[in-house]
Amino acid sequence: MNPIFPSILSTNFFDLEAKLRAFADSGIDFIHLDVMDGHFVDPISFGPSLARAIRAKFPFRLDAHLMVSNPEKAVPHFIQAGVDWISFHAEAAGAEATAGLLGTIRASGRKAGLVLNPDTPLERLRPYLAAADYVLLMSVFPGYGGQSFIPATLERAAQLKKEIAARNASCLLQVDGGIHPDNAALLQQAGADLFVVGTALFNAADIPAQIRQLTNHVHWSRA
Ligand code: DX5
Ligand code: ZN
């Protein structure tokens, strides 16, 4: 599976179909959907209807990153829309609800992911490493594309990868925000398996070439 997950947040929706076609022709398997509710993060982006529209036209698997204050309410809508992977923020779900919500997503046959903001301690993820299929470390503060990669993410990724291995957990490590060809290899060395890329792809003059650039810097994980 191609470890590059393009995020469509930064795209002009009138260009979206052409960009998705370019991704499909370049061997992209997953599209990352940045769902924003205007409350957990200030911007409002899009909902499950966009997921349905993409699925109706393209063969991609969809990875919904829920930047929403009430993920328990949102998750069923994305399951219904046929999204394949669903991640939500540990900061939004709270400790009690997190295990249950991961279980709900898994019980529906989807992959369950837990997301951590750059300033949230890794301890918040530790209890769920066996209950999650993937963990997403934000390398920018959520809400906007085009931000700069936070370098401390490299150390956090290495630390988290060690903890996943120490527990014999099988969850994959996804990183999201400010990723481009120059830092993707460093992130892979730190232990990242999956790479969400928005601006560095959507602003590329030659998308297939940029995808080759990115995938040349990272080997395809076991994912
Ligand atoms: C930010 C989103 C990221 C972002 C990635 O809240 O979660 O997925 O869109 O875009 P770039 O690669 O532009 O940082
Ligand atoms: Zn995202």
> In the block, which residue shows the tokens 């996804």?
174
| Residues labelled as active-site residues | 34, 176
pLDDT tier for residue 221 given thresholds of 50, 70 and 90: low
Sequence letter at residue 124: R
Residue 172, in any domain of the structure: yes
Residue 98, in any domain of the structure: yes
Mean pLDDT of the chain: 95
Residue 223, in any domain of the structure: no
Residue 129, in any domain of the structure: yes
What phi and psi, each to the nearest 5 degrees, are found at residue 21?
A: -60, -45
How many other β-carbons are positioned within 10 Å of the β-carbon of residue 73? Answer: 10
Residue 222, in any domain of the structure: no
Ligand 1 mutation pick, 8, 44, 140, 211, max ligand atoms within 8 A of CB: 140
Nearest-atom number in ligand 1 for the CA of 32 is 8
Contact criterion met (CB below 8 Å) for 114 and 88: yes
Residue 206, in any domain of the structure: yes
pLDDT tens for each residue of 62-114: 999 999 999 999 999 999 999 999 999 999 998 889 999 999 999 999 999 99
Q: What is the total count of domains within the chain?
A: 1
Host domain of residue 24: 4-217
Closest CA to 122 of 153, 168, 87, 167: 153
Residue 28, in any domain of the structure: yes
* 32 vs 219 pLDDT, higher one: 32
pLDDT of residue 94: 80
| Full-model pTM | 0.97
> Nearest C-alpha to atom 4 of ligand 1 is from which residue?
145
pLDDT tens for each residue of 115-124: 999 999 999 9
Which CATH number is 32's domain given? Answer: 3.20.20.70
Residue 38, in any domain of the structure: yes
Interstrand relation of 172-176 and 4-6 (parallel, antiparallel or unpaired): unpaired
Nearest-atom number in ligand 1 for the CA of 149 is 14
pLDDT tens for each residue of 6-15: 999 988 999 9
Ligand 1 mutation pick, 8, 116, 196, 214, max ligand atoms within 8 A of CB: 196
Structure token digits, residue 1: 């599976």
